[in-house]
Amino acid sequence: MELINIPLEALDVAFFQLGCNDQIQPNWVHEKSVPFGIIAQVYVGEYEVTCAGQTIWVRAPEAFLTPAHQPMRIVHHTNRRQRFAARWLHFSFVLYQTIDLTSLLDMPLRVDARRGRELSLIMQELIQLKGSESLEAIRHSIRWRELMWRILRIVCEISAFKADAEDRLKAGQKLAPLLTHLKNNLAQPLSVSQMAELVNMSVSRFFAFFQDKMGCSPMEYAKRVRLNEAASQFSLTDRLLKEVAANTGFANPFHLSREFKRQFGLSPKAYRALHPT
């Protein structure tokens, strides 16, 4: 599929976080669904990963790759010395501010050794670039961004586009004014009639078009965008639950907690505490 006609500004980085794990307790099990893609590479011990009905074992220098919003089960197997070590990154590249690129891709669960080595070098350099200070941080920031796009290039090269990807991209172009408005005005209520007006459609035509192309109702999609932003704030900030609820358009902290657990299977508190992959 040709992506050359997509405006440069339509593709952006919504979320990017990396880290490393070491000395996790033996056979630690991690079950979750998250609003971002994951690349994780073990270099001491093994991963056992179940996702989309498939179970694989991952050993160095291989990695595993999972899309956003996909329930998964990850078992961390230590080596004979009861040690486990891995590096990981969480990422979300978006089109038109809200369409996650991984939703358009059929991604392999396993990343082979050759690509794993390439990703390993990138992640090691990213980790070294963290925490830079002074004017040198400018150079490091530019290099950081270059490496993020290399990650995306690799993900696209080892994946195939889904059969409906082109239709969804065309729908994204049509819905771009609405999707941008949603992302930039999360705390503001928005009715279906207001959404339709933003894309110059009648309510009935807009609702049918959106349901067909995006796979859910406009209000469900808007709620998902708000929950994704809440997840990002829980991961990247120390904001209180009530602050995140206010920032993302939920009536109160209880409402956010209920919807968050329904979407991701974890309470906001449990999600925030869940750092290792």
From 106, 138, 161, give the residue that closes a domain. 161
What confidence score (pLDDT) does residue 151 get? 95
In a domain, 2, yes or no: no
Same domain assignment for residues 119 and 177: no
- Asked if residue 65 has pLDDT above 60, the reply is yes
Parallel, antiparallel, or unpaired: how do β-strands 46-51 and 54-58 relate? antiparallel
Looking at the chain, the number of H-run helices and the number of E-run strands are 9, 12
Residue 238 domain-assigned (yes or no): yes
Separation of CA 242 from chain center: 23
Co-location of 16 and 128 in the same domain: yes
153 and 40 both lie in a single domain? yes
* 46 and 153 belong to one structural domain: yes
**Model's pTM, two decimal places?**
0.86
Instruction: Indicate whether 95 and 144 sit together in one domain.
Output: yes
Mean pLDDT over 106-110 rounds to 96
Residues 60 and 107 reside in one and the same domain: yes
Q: Model confidence over 123-167: pLDDT tens digits?
A: 999 988 876 666 777 888 889 999 999 999 999 999 999 998 888
Q: Is 1 within a domain?
A: no
The per-residue pLDDT for range 22-35, each reduced to its tens digit, is 866 778 888 888 89
21: domain CATH number is: 2.60.120.10
Q: Are residues 27 and 157 in the same domain?
A: yes
State the pLDDT at residue 81. 87
Task: State whether 122 and 187 are in the same domain.
Answer: no
> Is pLDDT at 175 greater than 50 in this prediction?
yes
- Could you say which of 114, 136, 161 is where a domain stops? 161
The closest alpha carbon to 102, from 65, 145, 50, 63, belongs to 65
Report the 10 Å Cβ neighbour count for 88: 20
Q: Both 187 and 202 in a single domain?
A: yes
CA-atom Rg of the chain in angstroms? 20
Domain check: are 62 and 172 in the same one? Answer: no
Note whether residue 44 is domain-resident.
yes
Residues 113, 185 within the same domain: no
Count the domains in the chain.
Answer: 2
Provide the pLDDT for residue 131.
65
More reliable by pLDDT, 4 or 130? 130
**3-state secondary structure at position 127:** helix
Beta-carbon contacts of residue 95 (< 8 Å; ≥ 6 apart): 6, 10, 11, 101, 169, 172
CA distance 194 to 208: 15
The H-assigned helical ranges of the chain are: 113-129, 136-157, 165-184, 192-198, 203-214, 218-236, 241-247, 253-264, 268-273
Element containing residue 42 per DSSP (H, E): strand 37-44
Residue span of the structural domain in which 188 resides = 165-273
Question: Is residue 104 assigned to a domain?
Answer: yes
User: Rounded mean pLDDT of 244-259?
Assistant: 95
In-domain check, residue 39: yes
Same structural domain for residues 259 and 179? yes
**In this structure, are strands 72-77 and 63-66 parallel, antiparallel, or unpaired?**
unpaired
Residue 89 lies in a domain: yes
CA distances, 21 to each of 32, 36, 43, 233 (Å):
17, 19, 10, 22
Taking 70 as the threshold, does the pLDDT of residue 5 lie above it? no
CATH number for 248: 1.10.10.60
3, part of any domain: no
**Residue range 12-16: average pLDDT?**
89
Mutual angle of helices 203-214 and 218-236, in 10-degree steps:
60
**For residue 133, what pLDDT is reported?**
66
The model's pLDDT over 201-213, given as tens digits with 9 standing for 90+, comes to 999 999 999 999 8
Strand partners, 85: 22, 44
Is it the case that residue 86 has pLDDT exceeding 50?
Answer: yes
Give the residue among 120, 124, 123, 128 at the shortest CA–CA distance from 61: 120
Select from 135, 161, 187 the last residue of a domain. Answer: 161
CA atoms within 13 A on the CB side of 200: 3
Question: Between residues 96 and 119, which one has the greater pLDDT?
Answer: 119
- The per-residue pLDDT for 4 is 47
pLDDT surpasses 50 at 178: yes
Residue 2's pLDDT is 47
Cα Dmax for the chain: 65
